[in-house]
Amino acid sequence: MTRHALSYADWSGAEYRSVARSLLGGRVRQGRASTQLAQRLDADYAPSRAYALNYAHTALALALAAFKRRRPQRDVVLVPAYICPSVVSTISACGLQAQPVAVGDDLNLDMAALRQALEQAPLALVAPHMFACPLPIDAIETQCRAAGVFLVDDAAQVAGVRHQGRLLGTFGDVGLLSFAQSKTIVTGIRGSGGVLLVNDPALDEELGAACAALPPSPGRLAALLEFCWNYLWAERTGASGDHLERLLDTLGLRPADAGAVQARISNLDAGIALAQWPRLEGIVAARRRVAEHYHAALQEQQAIGFPQFAPGRYLARVMLLLPAGSDLAACRKQLRQQGIQSRLGYRVPFPDQPTTRHAQDLSTRLLGLPSGAAISAADSREICQRLGRILTQFHLKA
């Protein structure tokens, strides 16, 4: 039976060579790569200014603090009801209130719901392109400007990707990029890189100084080892990763709360990002192809949806929508037994309420399937056929 594993990153020899250079040169935290990455990002994203940090949510926290200083009477930050939970916890950690806005079937902000929410004079809107499915960010930029609401173009999942010719992340007041696993550019896990794009020149002096004051990221060697072992090499290392994690914990090599550490990107991670950047077009083209394969394979499986698909669209993950009432856990177990890895989407980080209900429903039915560059048309057909059989043969209904 062919095994189909999830892919969290697409590394070539260039990324490994960059790791070797940083290690052999004793330049894990600081070095030339950090400066070179900053120069590269500044050139690509001009006229926006780019600051390479450890997380996208470090960038978000700095931006929210700057917004709050300008509009101290406002506390509400709008986010889609379907969102990476770290965005919501970052907003709370800044002493602000994350308010969910309903999403559509494509997991992106619902435009009618957004228009209404903007009328309530929030401080800011965080607008992600979920799993790389692009938002109508130009229209959102116009609406936020008219409403006097700060806009964060959350391009965490789409570093280097353009929408109608313009780089995502450059709309609104600031933009975010992330280099953590399962994104577009992937350098590692937990704090392996995030970028603050300052699109409004009036914010640049303050935000540039805040970024420059941060230390370079600590603990990156252990994170690299964990990333390689548990993600990049997972097919070969299997469950031994759990043992490694316990060992790192015992040796105290893992920072206790890495998510809360605000830092600049390490030299190690900057070097990996630089090595991967020239391969971006190929990475995006391969995932477009894989999405097309799944779409074609699903023509035989009418009960399974692919709500984010559009011809020619790049998607960072293939997230399929199972029929209402499907038992997602049982389905994943059956797939696992047949050698097919799968994953869940995000849990909805809000209590049940009318604006979150659709996101909640989608999140209980979304299934992520293997979508690395190696997935062929035949692979996706086999995976979809097995999934279809599981859903019908086992009557996986709640």
Ligand X SMILES: Cc1ncc(COP(=O)(O)O)c(C=O)c1O
List of residues contacting ligand X (CB under 6 A): 55-57, 84, 86-87, 128, 154, 156-157, 176, 178, 180, 194
8 A C-beta contact, residue 174 and residue 184: no
Q: Which is nearer to ligand X, 87 or 274 (CB)?
A: 87
Distance CA 177, CA 142 (A): 21
Q: Minimum Å distance from CB 299 to ligand X? A: 30
8 A C-beta contact, residue 85 and residue 37: no
Q: Angle at the Cα of 337 (from 105 to 83), degrees rounded to 5?
A: 25
In degrees rounded to 5, what are phi and psi of residue 356? -105, -5
Q: Minimum Å distance from CB 305 to ligand X? A: 21
Q: Which is nearer to ligand X, 87 or 335 (CB)?
A: 87
Q: Minimum Å distance from CB 176 to ligand X? A: 6
Q: Which is nearer to ligand X, 52 or 56 (CB)?
A: 56
8 A C-beta contact, residue 155 and residue 174: no
Q: Minimum Å distance from CB 325 to ligand X? A: 28
What's the Cα-to-Cα distance from 380 to each of 158, 296, 365, rounded to whole Å?
Answer: 23, 9, 19
Q: Which is nearer to ligand X, 108 or 326 (CB)?
A: 108
Q: Minimum Å distance from CB 50 to ligand X? A: 15
Distance CA 396, CA 135 (A): 33
Query: Which of 99, 38, 10, 94 minimizes the C-alpha distance to 262?
Result: 94
Amino acid identity of residue 190, one-letter, is: R
Distance CA 204, CA 48 (A): 9
Distance CA 5, CA 225 (A): 20
Q: Minimum Å distance from CB 233 to ligand X? A: 21
Alpha-carbon torsion (134, 138, 139, 141), positive or negative: positive
Q: Which is nearer to ligand X, 149 or 189 (CB)?
A: 189
Q: Which is nearer to ligand X, 59 or 232 (CB)?
A: 59
Q: Minimum Å distance from CB 190 to ligand X? A: 7
Q: Which is nearer to ligand X, 58 or 380 (CB)?
A: 58
In degrees rounded to 5, what are phi and psi of residue 329? -65, -45
Partnered with residue 343 across adjacent β-strands are 368
Q: Minimum Å distance from CB 193 to ligand X? A: 7
Burial (Cβ within 10 Å: 0-12, 13-18, ≥19) of residue 300: exposed
Q: Which is nearer to ligand X, 28 or 263 (CB)?
A: 263
